[in-house]
Amino acid sequence: MLLNKKISTKIILVLIMYVISQPFLFESVLAQGQGGALPSRDQIEAKYKWDLTPVYESIDLWEQDFAWVKGKTAGYAAFQGKLGSSARSLLEFLKYDEEIGIKFGRVHLYAFLSKDLDLADTKYQALYDRTMGLATQLSEASAFFRPELLSIPEAKLKDYLSEEKGLAVYEHMLNELLRSKDHTLDKEKEELLAMASQVTRVPYDVFGMFKNADIQFPTVADENGQEIQVSDGRYYAALYSNDRSYRERVYRAYYKPFNDYKNTLTAMFNGNLKSLNFSAKARKYSSDRAAALDENNIPLSVYDNLVNSAYNNTSPLHRWCEMKKKVLGLPDMHAYDTYVTLFPSVSKDYSYDEGVELVLKALAPLGEDYIKSLKTAFDNRWIDVYETKGKRSGAYSSGTTFGVHPYVLLNWNNQLNDVFTLAHEMGHNMHSYYTGLNQPYPYANYSIFVAEVASTMNEALLLDYLIEHASTKEEKLSLIEKNLNNITTTFYRQTRFAQYEQMVHEKTEKGEPLTADLLSDMYGELYQAYWGPGMIVDEEEKLTWTRIPHFYYNFYVYQYATSFAASQALAEKVKIEGKPAIEKYLKFLQSGSSVYPIDVLQITGVDMTSEETIMAVVKKMNSLLDQMEQLLNE
């Protein structure tokens, strides 16, 4: 179903935006301590809370639209078997589906946002559950569309596009569906694959249950000698601790259950690889990677360019490793030393209003129109700012909902990281806003491949602004360190994951067995290559493959690194070229999915198949290291 893809993509994007903010959360948790009881929503000023009345002014109005969409579901049956009868019939179906999609998008947005303001409020949880149930009904009712459309001879479909002017807006969308024709099976085989999906997703489901529910971590002594049980949150928070022995204790304890169950985890990991390989083969793709990248029409050369360019240019990371070891005064460097700050004395609180002013000043290079749009969001309650009792944790932007502006969820804790989270999420927000303003419904969304470009672009500009306006040497050093850590985690780390993913899939495709020891040795060798001879690779670090959920996402992580590289190149273009680069960037934000992701980026002059784009990140890291060395030696 056309609208179902929009909704599922939107949910994925929200989750991505939440996941990408996790490092900020862990640092904030470390900084803020326990604190007092959380305020209730009625204790927060209205200007810091979402105004959802532009979506629906009341639940009664939501119920009316919900009932309208539900009543329209049965109407899909009238189109079945008739899409190929005439151009008019096809257009009528697309208009019908679009009308439902627009209304359902608003229904979904209201239920989704309302639920997240208080997860304990069963009233809004019920609205959301009903909404997702309705999405399933709509998907089932319109499931005939894709196979029936692909059964229409391509020449006939092109004739339809010529004779019916109303179909013109759908041409790219229809061509995109036709592009997948060679990998779409007949009706019976498609039904079989759909049935098999309940089985092939078992490894992912089991891993999720193990990682999030069943795993039992040991206890360790904290920095004050008190026994605490290790958890995901405490593990990440500990990595920022200045107490090295505590970092090491938590690190080794965290990996213990993964080591204890490495054989079970190997079976899950291999099961997922074989499931993806089964699907790729069934759809007649040349490889698992080709199948995954084809969804967004991404050439394999983009993946190859990223991995090869990063892997062959790890010297800045080696240099960073040696510098951290020297400044920290460590005899050796381990994975549990890579997150701790070199400048712990630098600390400053930022109110939300101060954060808004900083973001507006930092993003001024993007031009008056962009700043005006940002102010519209800040002044009209598009952002839910503070943590309150029952509110969802983390941060996200709601994405594009046709006819309604996007919303941003925050949990502000007065940290510098909150300022960066604000800049990041407003990047998503403006991307969705400009897309919604400028694209018709079929293209009022954007690919996951480009989803992190606008957000990391904002972060890059904010970092540059803060470094330029730092009041002390220590503050400037701390900000340069943050920039280096961003490159390390979002570019090099995600590319390392992508390279590992490619390696294990290729071995699976060749029928080579992947044992726990082989999987660990492969990861350990790659980790060593990226960080260089200055890094001690512990046995625990070799087990990283056992705990990363992204390895179950099917060639997903490379997009973090490509988006990051693209945004760094764009930030430089805006600073150097000025207005021409800004105009191209705004056109990128406005393009939605009206063209393929690679082509959307090329509008801005960024070519993701070019080594130059990747090397720009490498050069930037070297430049930042030069700046840090100079300041440290002053």
Chain centroid offset of residue 22 CA: 11
Distance CA 299, CA 598 (A): 9
The phi, psi pair for 229, rounded to 5°, reads -85, 130
394 CB contacts (<8 Å, ≥6 apart)? 18, 21, 22, 25, 409, 411
Residue at token pair 């304890």: 253
Q: What's the token pair of residue 94?
A: 């697309």
The phi, psi pair for 409, rounded to 5°, reads -105, 130
| 121 in Cβ contact with 392 (< 8 Å) | no
DSSP category for residue 469: T
Kindly report the length of the chain: 634
The phi, psi pair for 401, rounded to 5°, reads -120, 120
| 421 in Cβ contact with 395 (< 8 Å) | yes
- Three-state SS annotation for 375-426: HHHHHCCCEEEECCCCCCCCCEECCCECCECCCEEEEECCCHHHHHHHHHHH
Which whole-number Å values give the CA distances from 360 to 24, 69, 429, in the listed order? 20, 40, 14
Distance CA 569, CA 38 (A): 41
Q: What's the token pair of residue 232?
A: 């995901």
Rg (CA), the chain: 25
Closest to 426 (Cα-Cα) out of 589, 569, 580:
589
The residues facing 131 across adjacent strands are none
Distance CA 559, CA 455 (A): 13
* Amino acid, res. 358: L
Distance CA 116, CA 131 (A): 14
- Three-state SS annotation for 94-135: HHHHHHHHHHHHHHHHHHHHHHHHCCCCHHHHHHHHHHHHHH
Buried b (16+ CB within 10 A) or exposed e, 125-164: eebbeebeebbeebeebbbbbeebbbebeeeebeebbeeb
| 524 in Cβ contact with 542 (< 8 Å) | yes
| DSSP percent split of the chain into helix, strand, coil, nearest 5 | 70, 5, 25
Distance CA 516, CA 522 (A): 10
Distance CA 476, CA 469 (A): 8
Q: Which of 27, 98, 425, 541 is catalytic?
A: 425
Handedness of CA 179, 183, 189, 193 (dihedral sign): negative
* Amino acid, res. 297: N
Q: What's the token pair of residue 512?
A: 């080579």
| 305 in Cβ contact with 614 (< 8 Å) | yes
Catalytic status, residue 425: yes
Question: Mind telling me the catalytic residues?
Answer: 425
